[in-house]
Amino acid sequence: MLLFHLHRFYPLLLAFASAAYNTHDDDLSIRTPSFSILGSLSTSNVRRFAGIPYAEPPTGGNRFRPPVTKKPYTDLLNTTSFGPSCLQYDTGAPGLSDYLPAQVPDSGQSEDCLTLNIWTPRAQKLKEGGELLPVMIWIPGGALLNGGSSAPNYDGTSFVENQNVLLVSMNYRVNIFGFPAAAALDGSHHNVGLLDQRMAVEWLYNNIYAFGGDAKRMTLFGQSAGASSTDFFSYAWWYDPLVSGLIIESGAVGNNKVTYSEGTSNFSYVASQVGCGGLGKDEELKCMQATNAETILKVYEAYNATENSGRSLGFGASVDEETIFSNFSDRRARGLVAKLPVIIGNTNDEYTSLYSPFTSTGPNQTEIDQLSNAVFACPAAISSNFRAQQLRVPTYRYRYFGVFPNLNPFPWLGAYHASEIPIVFGTSYISGPDTEAEKKLSMYMQGAWAAFAKDPVHGLEVYGWPRYEVGTNTLALLGRDNGTIEVGSAEEWDAVCS
């Protein structure tokens, strides 16, 4: 699918950038030919523009459909508060977020949710620097079931203040609303949540100059489902990625053993429970588009597999040969993946926080190790090795070991899934006082991510992080034994992947 965008006119846009927007004396109002917004101060040095719409509301006839380009608006829009997250799927089961709430979006939820947030230096600082700054675009995780950009751990203030970059985070549709796989879609455009992400990147490519950002230096990064989305992006838009680098934290696309939900029966089952059953596929879709969104979500959340002969009811990424492919190995072999510099890695104890049921006593370690390797560590190895050896792009690989008291309510968690996020964003203090080692690691990792964003090809090597080569001591071991970085071989961990 080709979404409308103006990125090919980027040089012309830059030529008129200074004339295309203006700010008031307090530099919190930005006006362009496409929009006018009012932001707020995050600190005395950092501005925040939150809840900026990048697409039309995905409601009514737009529900379950690809995003629609946002129409220009000239009335001043207040962007001083985060927009609501997209409708969330909640089983009610206990999890780590019950102990670390900074992981959870706190801006409410709505179907009208396609917004993004931008943290940028004050206008005067941008003028003093005299150049557009690199842009880091964050895709939140949440298993494509939930998650949103307003989680306190994703606050971009520290990144911008310490590293002189722009930080962006986005919302995108999740669960049945983002991945409906309805029969009426005829096998295409199944993954509209991934198309939302693409439209957000296009909006930024066309408009980030107004905030002081350089559209030629945009890095896409994410964790978990945000990481896999980043990797999916590199396959879906390999010919026109718009971004210059990728950071994939615990969610690389590995091989074809990863399975994605397929078929249209799940959507039709939900339709049958809300009065839309027994219709033709087009009528079914129209009926579901007219049904109250909360009613749809309640059917999904209340479903009990035990009461339905063990059949699961899930809505995740499905093969459409557009954003998700049936054979990623074949696409790698044919070079159909964006040839971009990349950071890829995983935490040392991924699955401790994901195992269900989550209990305070901890799961079986052997099973945890097997799941961590199969779902995260081995896909990271496959993807890193391919990019370094076959694609021959600058590749940087890490394994994260950081364990700190304010982020670990139970000692057996170790370096669990998502434990690196508050370290990278500099938001670990939200969960309690930082240790000195934690502060040093946070500054180191934040600096590394920013060095990559500023120069994806050479920035990390200048920073002191070696380019990854298979079979050599070029795996970055981050946070091991309360340090910042060591280098070692990946063979110790990759042996299980063969």
> CB burial class (10 A; 0-12, 13-18, 19+) of residue 355?
middle
At position 48, the amino acid (one-letter code) is R
Pick from 332, 61, 55: which is nearest to 199 by CA?
Answer: 55
**Burial of residue 273, with CB atoms counted within 10 A of its CB: 0-12 exposed, 13-18 middle, 19 or more buried:** middle
Q: Name the strand (E) or helix (H) holding 344.
A: strand 342-347
Catalytic residue among 111, 202, 284, 350, which?
350
φ, ψ of residue 31 to 5 degrees: the values are -125, 130
Task: Note the Cα 128 to chain centre separation in Å.
Answer: 32
How distant, in Å, are the alpha carbons of 92, 243, 309, 398, 475 from that of 395? 39, 16, 46, 10, 10
- The token pair at 278 is 């027994």
Catalytic annotation, pick one of 85, 149, 224, 228: 224
Please give the Cα distance from 49 to 81 (Å, whole number): 8
Query: Which of 284, 353, 417, 431 does the annotation list as catalytic?
Result: 417
Angle at 226 between CA 410 and CA 232, to 5 degrees: 140
Residue identified by tokens 């190790």 is 369
Could you tell me if 324 and 317 are in contact, meaning their C-beta atoms sit under 8 angstroms apart? yes
Q: Is 222 helix (H, G, I), strand (E, B) or coil?
A: strand
Encoding tokens for residue 69? 């380009």
At 291, give phi and psi (nearest 5°).
-85, 145
Q: Are strands 46-53 and 115-121 parallel, antiparallel or unpaired?
A: antiparallel
In contact, 489 and 473? CB cutoff 8 Å = yes
CA dihedral 26, 27, 28, 29 (to 10 degrees): 110
Any catalytic annotation for residue 189?
A: no
C-alpha distances in Å from residue 90, one per residue of 67, 101, 280, 453 = 24, 15, 30, 34
DSSP secondary-structure letter at 69?
Answer: B
Is residue 469 annotated as part of the catalytic site, yes or no?
no
Tokens of 442: 């946070």
8 A C-beta contact, residue 260 and residue 318: yes
Region class of 187: left (phi > 0), else alpha (psi between -120 and 50), else beta: left
Question: Catalytic site residue 486?
Answer: no
The answer to whether 115 and 52 are in contact (CB under 8 A) is yes
Q: Which residues are catalytic?
A: 224, 350, 417
